[in-house]
């Protein structure tokens, strides 16, 4: 039986640049960088001669984002457009989406758009904006509506 999400992972071209983005710009905490190679990781990944540099970044709610830089073999860049099959994005819940947008915009972070507020449906009242992270990874900021009780399991408003 699945107990929960243990971690989410992104492969990046430069681990230090990714850590700068997630830690210095977004304020998250990271584990020390560790190097992984050898027979066990080759077996797990099914990639011969795999050599990786890894750091885990944690969110205030103990979410775990694993950042991996492949030292070998060199990976291919792919089109990260969100409509492409297999492309993922990660959404972070924030307490003040406009403030995050304003501060990060001045630091050169590229957003798809300014914060938008959902007017209907399951996300009614939520603030939403998409942005580009390291290597063009798509990220999302979401701000919950004020004064609305959210279901802790789904994050959606509880019907009154």
Cα–Cα distance for residue pair 139/92, rounded to 1 Å? 8
pLDDT at position 152 over 80: no
Note whether 49 and 104 are same-domain residues: no
> Which of residues 42, 57, 73 is at a domain's end?
73
End residue of a domain, out of 73, 105, 128? 73
Sheet holding 127-132, edge to edge: 90-93, 138-143, 127-132, 116-117
**Same domain membership, residue 67 and residue 48:** yes
Whether the pLDDT of residue 160 is over 80: the answer is no
Confidence grade of residue 97 (pLDDT, cut at 50, 70, 90): very high
3-state secondary structure of 45: helix
* pTM for the predicted model, two decimal places: 0.89
Q: Which of 73, 92, 108 delimits the end of a domain?
A: 73
State residue 15's pLDDT score: 98
* Residue 121: pLDDT band with limits 50, 70, 90: confident
HSE at residue 63, side-chain half, CA atoms within 13 A, is 12
> CATH code at 146?
3.10.180.10
The domain in which residue 148 lies consists of 80-160
Give residue-wise pLDDT tens across range 4-23: 889 999 999 999 999 999 99
Task: Count up the domains in the chain and report the number.
Answer: 2
Query: Three-class SS of residue 135?
Result: helix
């Amino acid at each position: 039986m699945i107990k929960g999400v243990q971690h989410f992972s992104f492969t990046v071209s430069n681990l230090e640049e990714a850590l700068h983005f997630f830690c210095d710009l977004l304020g998250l905490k990271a584990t020390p960088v560790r190097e992984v190679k050898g027979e066990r990781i080759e077996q797990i990944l099914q990639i011969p001669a795999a050599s990786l540099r890894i750091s885990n970044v944690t969110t205030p709610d103990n979410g775990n984002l694993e950042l991996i830089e492949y030292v070998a073999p060199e990976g291919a860049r792919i089109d990260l457009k969100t409509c492409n099959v297999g492309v993922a994005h990660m959404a972070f819940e924030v307490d003040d989406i406009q403030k995050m947008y304003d501060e990060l915009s001045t630091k050169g972070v590229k957003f798809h758009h300014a914060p938008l507020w959902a007017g209907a449906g399951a996300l009614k009242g939520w603030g939403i904006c998409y942005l580009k992270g390291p290597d063009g990874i798509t990220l999302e900021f979401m701000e919950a509506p004020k004064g609305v009780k959210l279901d802790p399991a789904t994050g959606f408003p509880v019907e009154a």
